[in-house]
Structure 1
Amino acid sequence: MKKRTVFMVVGILFIAIVIFKPFRLEPPTPKISVGEREIPTTQGSYCWDAILLAQCVDTIYTSAIDMTESHTPSLVSENDEIEIEFPIGYQPENLRLEQWLDENNSKIIEINNERIKAPNESGVYVYHVIADWNQGDGNYAFLIEVE
């Protein structure tokens, strides 16, 4: 009976660690997608407070445009639905999205149920995702081209 109890406790702890990842050293990266196609993201600077370590990491990027410099734009159609999804258990307390117009100007884009609509005009668009959790914050950029 004791062995069974020990195995159950170890199993529950293992599942809790796998699902909640209390030893995570950086914020979770969102999955950005259009339908079944995933859009590549670049992680920017962040701060994260894990159980054993807290750290802030500064990246070399100066803007969201700079963050997507090496990306090939992901092709989307006008008004396609773009989903911004974080891993289970890591939904941010605060989530903001900016569309960068140039190196110095951006505008806030409203997110509805983890989704946004692609613009209805052709062009290349840079987006900047800013997320805050109790454990810290992170930011990510992605690039799309509306056909």
Structure 2
Amino acid sequence: MILKKAIGVVSGLLVLGVVLFFVYPKDESQSEPKPPDLQVQAGEETVTAKQGGYSWKDGNQAVSVDSADPAEDLDAGQALSAVSGAMVELDFQKPPQSLEVERKAEDGSWENQQVYDSQLELPELSDDYIYRISGQWEQGEASYAFLVKAE
């Protein structure tokens, strides 16, 4: 009789524990560390750059995410429309300590681009331009890409 009660109590506690595990909200502060998003703005239009691979640490947690080059499969439907020769602003949630910006040339090679005060100037010719960005922070590094349709 005592054994049956003990098994009933243990079973009840086990069921209660499982229910609480799935129902109780998780602490968001324990989520996986992630680098800041990059918003790209030209005029009144803003898009979020596609994030590629990154290595990031926050406190005792660290994560390394490997992915294909984010510039390889950009969605044309999410392209930033801008005027040729316009300035494009790169707005990170947290500014990087260092930044490298490249533009894909017609021959498929990558050309370094100058960035002034988180802005880069589009070419004067109307065309589609793919940009790839690498940023470094104290917490790690991340890569991004975006497409601009300059008219």
Query: Which category describes the TM-score, using the shorter chain as reference length?
Result: 0.7 to 0.9
Deviations 1:85-120 (A, max 9, x none): 112xx2111111000125851000000000011110
> Bigger CA drift: 117-126 or 21-30?
21-30
Greater CA radius of gyration, 1 or 2?
2
- For 2:59, the aligned partner's letter is I
Structure 1 stretches lacking a partner, 5+ long:
1-20
> Bigger CA drift: 50-59 or 102-111?
102-111
Give 1:51's aligned residue. Answer: 59
Give yes or no for contact 1:74–1:143 (8 Å, CA) kept in 2.
Answer: yes
1:67–1:31: structure 2 CA closer, same or farther, 3 Å change rule? same
Q: How far apart, CA to CA, are the structure 2 residues paired with 1:37 and 1:22?
A: 34
- For 1:134, the aligned partner's letter is E
Q: Secondary structure at the match of 1:78?
A: coil
Deviations 1:21-78 (A, max 9, x none): 897711101111012210231100000011131010011x2x343141x233322111
- Would you say how many aligned residue pairs link Structure 1 and Structure 2? 122
Give 1:39's aligned residue. Answer: 47
TM-score, normalised to structure 1, is 0.75
Q: How far apart, CA to CA, are the structure 2 residues paired with 1:57 and 1:141?
A: 16
Structure 2 stretches lacking a partner, 5+ long:
1-28
Which aligned segments of 4 or more residues in structure 1 are displaced greater than 3 angstroms? 21-24
CA RMSD of aligned residues (A): 2.1
TM-score, normalised to structure 2, is 0.73
Q: How far apart, CA to CA, are the structure 1 residues paired with 2:57 and 2:110?
A: 29
